[in-house]
Amino acid sequence: RYFNFFFLNSNIDRSNMSSDTVINGSLIKDKDGSKLKSDSVEDKSSHLNSGSGENEGDKKKVTKLYSRPSFKKDKIDAHYDRWIPFSYFTFFLGDYSIAERGGRRIQFVRQWRLWKHFADFFPAKIIKTCDYDPKKNYIFGYHPHGILSAGGFVHFATEGTGFSKLFPGLKPHLLVLGGHFLLPLYRDFFLSGGAVSASRKSISYLLGNGHQGRALALVVGGAPESLDCHPDKVTLHLSKRKGFCKLALLHGASLVPTFSFGENSVYEQYPNPPGTRLRTIQDALQKVIGLAPCIFIGRGIFQYSFGIVPFRKPINTVFGAPIDVQKVENPTSEQICALHKTYVDAVVKLYNDYKDQFAEFPQTPINIV
């Protein structure tokens, strides 16, 4: 009965029918209470009843509503909402490991004019200090992490700041947590910009196999560093981060220190010094979910005191001189520690050389933890 009501009676304009309308009965009223005019419908009813073999005098005048259903079209439409997610899920299963196999960058997406506007919002700029040989591979260490690493995204995952024009021959990739590639659709958007997983397997794939001109951007401090990002402080988590130095030695990739002045200023974070209850909870959650649960505040769209939109603070990222690394098949701990010390010293020097020119608080010392 319900199928007949909704599908066989599809030619009735129900917007003009009130709640007391009776279907297949003798009373059909419209909104103002008058009898619904449906002569053609009554004609169809009488035509159907005329072939029943009954006396016309004994027949009761009953209004029937009837139309020819399009079963094929209804069945196809009803399955659209099933086949689309099923097809994407099948594609996702086969494409699951693409983030560890070089990704799937789309240059057209990287060149969207939207990214130019995004860079001009802060504005974000690349401060070039030297050229890089396109025949070599590089690991760019991005510091500091910031709340969202807005500078790292616009520099390496888009052409908003003109990376390819400033460094021709280099192919940039932004290294991020693998959890970003578990979210449907979002992962495809992120992959199109050249983002890949920050796992060892992913880095080895990009630096190996005879590839040249690869520029891998790694936010070395990771999620824990974002909990220490405040506008008036410079705290870098570098002391225990040595894995990228080992990979550089294994593949002979040069290390490039970078420092992004203003990255910590685009958001203000609620005070959470180490040892407080809030920081203890944040550290515990970060270890479980992998992402840092920062409590931050930005600006609004029509006001500047509260919201999630970042503040319009300049982000000037200085790209330092490369540290050439010789390939070592089995690097020792001494070699790794020596390269790590050289890199940390280069980051500190880069900050001290340019803090008076770009830092909002140039008197703030850099702290390596």
Distances (CA, A) of 147 to 143, 244, 308, 354: 12, 22, 11, 22
Distances (CA, A) of 362 to 181, 315, 347: 37, 15, 16
Q: Is the peptide bond before 123 cis (omega within 30 degrees of 0)?
A: yes
Burial class of residue 93 in the structure, from the number of CB atoms within 10 Å of its CB (0-12 exposed, 13-18 middle, 19+ buried) = exposed
What's the confidence (pLDDT) of residue 77? Answer: 55
pLDDT mean by block of 10 residues, the chain; 369 residues? 43 45 44 45 45 47 46 54 82 89 94 96 96 96 95 96 96 93 90 95 92 95 93 95 96 97 95 93 90 90 87 96 95 96 97 96 95
What's the confidence (pLDDT) of residue 289? Answer: 85
User: Which distant-in-sequence residues (6+ apart) come within 8 Å of 9 by Cβ?
Assistant: 23, 65, 66, 67
Distances (CA, A) of 283 to 149, 223, 234, 265: 19, 10, 19, 22
Nearest to 127 by CA among 185, 159, 166: 166
What's the confidence (pLDDT) of residue 261? Answer: 97
Distances (CA, A) of 324 to 238, 282, 331: 19, 38, 15
Nearest to 265 by CA among 194, 361, 340, 193: 361
Q: What's the rounded Cα separation, in Å, for the pair 320 and 227?
A: 25
- For the chain, give every domain's residue range: 98-368
Q: What's the rounded Cα separation, in Å, for the pair 262 and 147?
A: 11
